[in-house]
A = this chain, B = another copy of it.
Amino acid sequence: MILTLAGGVGAARMLAGLMQVVPHDELTAVVNVGDDLELHGLRISPDLDTITYTLAGAINPETGWGLVDESWQARTMLEQYGGVSWFGLGDRDLGTHLYRTQRLSEGADLATVTAEITEAWGLGVRLLPVTCDALRTRVTLAADDPSTSEFPCLSAGSEISFQEYFVQRHHGVPVSSIRFAGAENARPTEGVLEAIATATTIVIAPSNPLVSIDPVLVVPGVNDAVISRRDQVVAVSPIVAGSALKGPADRLMRELGHEPTVVGVARIYRDIAATLVIDEADVASAAAVEAEGMRCVVTPTVMDTPERAAALARVVIGAQS
C-alpha cells in the first residue's frame, strides 16, 4: 500500500499520477484538515474535496478547486443580501457541504462521511482525514493589512483563520507565525497510524510543508510514526527553482525563516524522510540536498499533464532508499 501525506491541489495531482501506476485499492491518503472551516453553518473541507473532485475527474480545470460544470445561483443570492461571499461556494459544491454537515450533525465522524462521499464518486482510493477532531490552522500577520472593499483592516499581530489568509486576503499579507489550534487534543483517525506503519512507501506530496503537511504531522503520534518509517518516506519538493508552483509556499517559507529552495525543503523534511525528489531545474542543488542527509532524486516534477504526473509517480515509487 502506498500512503500519501496530502494537502490540496499538489497532492491531488500526485495522487492522480499514482492512480495511473498503482491499483486504486492500494492507495491511501492521509489528508490535512487544518484548512477546514465553518461558514454559513456548513462544514467545509477544502483539501478533502479538492482531492475527491480531482480523482473523480470532476475538478474545475480552470480554478483547480471546486466542481466542473458549476453554477453560482446561491452565491449570487448571497451577494444580493450583502452576505459573506469571499469563499466561493458553487451550487454543486454546496451539495457536498450540505451532505457533510448533515451527516456530522447526525453524529457521523469526518472519516465516515469522507468514505461515503468518495464512495459516491466511485473512488477506489482511500482518503483519511488525519483527524476527525477539530484542528484549525491559524495565521498571525507580520504587518498591518489595510482594509479593502472586501475586508476590514487588520493590524500586525492579528491572528486569522487559514482561509481568511489564503482565500479572503489572497495570501497577500506577510505572516509571522502559524499555529494549529486544537492539535494537542486531536487524535489520529482510526487507521492512520496503522497505514503509516504498514505502507510500502510513504509519499509526502508536493504540498505546502508549513500549512498542508505540518498540520498532518502535528497530530499526536503521526510525526513519530512517520519518523520510524523514515527509510520508506519519499518527499516531493513543492519548490521548483525557488518558487512554489501554486500558492504561497515560497513566501511563507521565507517569512518563517526557511530558505525557499529545495535545500530549505530538505532541512524541513530530513528528520522524517530519507529521500527528496526535486525538479530538474534544481539539479545544481542535488549535492546540497544530499549534504542535508537525504538521498536526492532529480526528475521532472511539474505535473502539468496526466502523463507527467504518472511519470513522476513511477519515479517516486521507485525512489525509496
Contacts and interface: CB of A to CB of B under 8 A. Distances in A.
A98 to B, nearest CB: 4
A102 B71 contact: no
A43 interface: yes
B120 A95 contact: no
Contact of A94 (B70, B94, B103): B94
16 contacts: A38-B105, A40-B42, A40-B102, A41-B41, A41-B98, A41-B101, A70-B73, A74-B74, A77-B92, A77-B94, A77-B99, A82-B116, A83-B102, A83-B103, A91-B91, A91-B94
Contact of A117 (B73, B81, B89, B116): B81
Contacts of A78: 95, 98-99
A105 B71 contact: no
Interface in A64-107: 70-71, 73-78, 80-84, 89-99, 101-103, 105
A74 B102 contact: no
Interface string A110-132: 00000011001000000000000
Contacts of A103: 83
Nearest to A105: B41
B120 A92 contact: no
Interface in A23-79: 38-43, 70-71, 73-78
Contact of A98 (B40, B93, B99, B117): B40
A40 B84 contact: no
Interface residues of A, number: 37
Nearest to A102: B40
A89 B41 CA distance: 15
Contact of A84 (B39, B43, B82, B102): B102
Contacts of A41: 40-43, 98, 101-102, 105
B117 A91 contact: no
Nearest to A78: B95
A103 B84 CA distance: 9
A180 to B, nearest CB: 23
A73 B93 CA distance: 9
Contacts of A42: 40-42, 98, 101
Contact of A92 (B74, B82, B90, B102): B74
B117 A95 contact: no
A70 B71 CA distance: 12
A83 B98 contact: yes
A299 B82 CA distance: 43
B71 A95 contact: no
A67 to B, nearest CB: 8
A95 B74 contact: yes
Given A83-B103, A101-B41, A103-B83, A91 B73 contact: yes
Contacts of A76: 92, 95
A182 B80 CA distance: 33
